[in-house]
Chains A and B, each alone.
Chain A
C-alpha cells in the first residue's frame, strides 16, 4: 500500500517536472505535439458545440475541389510582431473557446469539440486558402502573417464572412493591446467569458417554420478556362477608394454593390458572347442577416440571393439590379431560413446516419447549388475599426476560396477609405478580371492591383 502511494507520488512529481520543463521550453511546438499525442478518444470532458444550420453542409461537400475556405487579411503600416500576434491569438481563443475547435463526426451529425491547444501563428508559405484536411485534432482556422500582413483563413463551418471579419477585428484589437496601445474603445472585452449569443445558431433561433420559398435552380452560365492545379490559386487584389466609387455610383443613382455587380456581370457577359452560351449570367449575393434580425452571432447567419442579368445596357442593368436587391426583405430571408431549417428538423432526416446524410447532401448540393450561379459576389461591408487602431491599419482584404464550378469569385471589404476587391481565380485566363477592372477604371476610378501571380 505504502509502496503504491510512493510510486504514484513519484509519477506525479515526474509529470510535474515534465510539464514545467515543457512550459519553460521556448519551443511551443513540442508542447503542442506532446499534448496532441496524449489527446485521446476517451477525452469526454472536452466541451462541444453544435454546428449551425448552414455549417452542417460544408463538411459534407468539402474536397480538394471545393475547399469552403475564405481568407481575411489586414495590411498594417508596420511589420507584424510574431510573438505579440501569438500572444494575442492565445488570449482571443481563451476568450472564444468555441472557435478553438476541431471537427468530429457523431453518429447523426458532425459537431465541434474543443481542442486543448491553441492555433499556432505561422509565416505564410504556400498558396492561399489551402484545404483544411478532415482531422479532428486540427484547427479549422489558420492565423498567419507575412511582412506587414496579418492573415486569417477560416473554414466556412466556423463562421461566415461577416462573422470572420468580427473575429479579425477582435484579433487586431488583441494584437495592438499586446503592443501596448491601451485603452481601445470597443465593446469587446478580452477578459470576459464567451457569451451564448456570440456562438448561437441564429438560423434555428429565428426560424418560425411558417412560410417557405421555392428554390431557384435554373442553371447559369459557367466561366470557362484552363484550370490550375488543385493546390494553386491566383489572388488578385484591387485597392480602390470608397469615396471615389461612391461618387461614380451616385452619378448613376446606384449603390456601390449594384455598381460593382453590374460591371462584373457585363464583364462575364462579354466573355459569354465569345462562347455563344445561352444560359443566363447569375451572381450569388450572400446577404448578412445580423442586422435584419439583430443577432450578435459569429457563426454563419447569411441568406443567399441569386441576381439574374436581365439587361445588357449598363444603366438599364443598374435599375434592374436595384429592383432585384430592393426585393430582398426580412420576410423573404425568413422564408429561405425556414426552408433550410425545416429539412434539419424533419424526424426522418434526424435519424439517418451521418455517412448517408453526407452522400445525400453532396448529391443535392451538386444538383441544386453548384451550377445555379456564374460567380459569387460577397460583400462584407465596411469594417469600423476602433479609433485608436484605425490609423495603424492600411487596408483589409477578403477573398473566397476554390470552388468546383465557379472559376472566379469576387469579394469586397472596406476599411478607412480603401475598398479592396478580392478576386480569386482557379483558371489561367484573366480576360474577365481584366475586363472588369478596365470597366471600373474607365469611370475614372483609380485602382492599385496586386497579385500573387508571377509574370
Chain B
C-alpha cells in the first residue's frame, strides 16, 4: 500500500485513485485504470450477468413478437391475434421478468402489478369491446385494488414511503369524483355500485393508514411543504 492520503493521514489500497474516507485524489495514475478489487468481491460480475440476462430475454421476446406477427400477416393475411400477443409479451416483460431480474421491492412489484393488470384489461376492453364494462368496472376496481395494495404494503410490512400517502390520496380523490359523476352527469352510464364500493373502501383505508402512520405522514408532509 503506497497510496497515502494527507488529509486523513492513512494509507489506502494501492489500486484506489481516491481516498474512501475524504474523497481526495491519492493516485492520479489509477484514475483511468479499471479497478480490480482486492478486498471485496467485484460485483461488476453480478451486474454484467444481470444486464446480459435482461438483454437476452428482451431480444428473444421481440423476436418472438416479430415472427408471430409476420407469420400471421403472411400466412393468414390478417392481424387479429397479433396485438394481443404484443401487449401480452410487453405485460410479461414489465410485470414479471423485469422485477425478478432487477429485484424490485415488494411495494414496487405489487403497485406495478395493479397498474399493469388494469391497463391490460382496459386495452382488451377498448380493443375488442368484449365485455362492455370499461368505465363501469375497470376504473373502480383499479382504485379498489391499488388502495388495498397500498394498505397491505404499509401495515403488514411496517413500511411507509411518502409516495404511498399521495397515491392513496389520489385514489380517494378519483373515486369520489367518479362517484359524484355516476350520481349526476353520467347517471345510468356509469354504474353506481362499483364506484360506491371503491369510494368507501379507499376512504376507509386512507383513514386507517393515517391513523397508524400518523407520525410518519406528518413528518413527510412537513418535509414536502417545508413547514
Contact = CB atoms under 8 A, between A and B. Distances in A.
Nearest to A73: B39
Contacts, number: 66
Interface stretch (B16-24, B73-81, B87-95, B144-152): B16-24
A450 B38 contact: yes
B225 interface: no
A238 B20 CA distance: 12
Contacts of A124: 41
Interface stretch (B3-11, B108-116, B206-214): B3-11
Nearest to B17: A455
A455 B41 contact: no
A430 interface: yes
B43 A441 contact: no
A52 interface: no
B76 to A, nearest CB: 46
Interface residues of B, number: 23
Interface in B36-66: 37-41, 43, 45-46
Most buried by B among A147, A442, A449: A449
Interface string A132-172: 00000000000000111100000000000000000000000
Given A450-B13, A450-B38, A452-B40, A441 B8 contact: yes
A430 B21 contact: yes
B183 interface: no
Interface residues of A, number: 29
Interface in A408-430: 430
A437 interface: yes
Interface string A424-440: 00000010011001100
A133 to B, nearest CB: 15
A219 interface: no
Interface of B: 1, 8-13, 16-23, 37-41, 43, 45-46
Closest 7 CB pairs of A and B: A452-B40, A441-B9, A455-B18, A447-B10, A448-B11, A450-B39, A124-B41
Interface of A: 123-126, 128, 146-149, 235-238, 430, 433-434, 437-438, 441-442, 446-453, 455
